[in-house]
Amino acid sequence: MSAPDLFLSKLHSQLSSPSLLHSTALTYNTSPTPSTKFPYAYSLCHSPTPSERTFGIQLMDELISEGYEYEEDCMYGKCVAQYLNNDFGSARRTVEGILRYNPENGRAKEIWEVLRIKGEEKERRENVAIGTGVVAVGVGVVVGLVGIFMGKKR
Grade residue 17 by pLDDT with cuts at 50, 70 and 90.
Answer: confident
> With pLDDT > 90 as the criterion, what percentage of the chain qualifies?
60
Assign residue 113 the CATH number of its domain.
1.25.40.10
135/55 Cα distance (integer angstroms): 45
Grade residue 147 by pLDDT with cuts at 50, 70 and 90.
Answer: confident
- Residue 66 lies in domain: 3-153
Number of domains, the chain: 1
**Per-residue confidence (pLDDT) for residue 125, from 0 to 100:** 65
Q: What is the pTM of this model?
A: 0.72
Kindly report, residue by residue over 112-143, the tens digit of the pLDDT: 999 998 877 766 666 665 666 666 666 666 66
Q: Mean pLDDT over all residues of the chain?
A: 85
88/82 Cα distance (integer angstroms): 7
Kindly report, residue by residue over 75-94, the tens digit of the pLDDT: 999 999 999 999 999 999 99
**Per-residue confidence (pLDDT) for residue 106, from 0 to 100:** 93
pLDDT of 27 > 70? The answer is yes
Torsion of CA 52, 56, 58, 60, to 10 degrees: 180
Q: Count CA atoms closer than 13 A to 19's CA, side-chain side.
A: 0
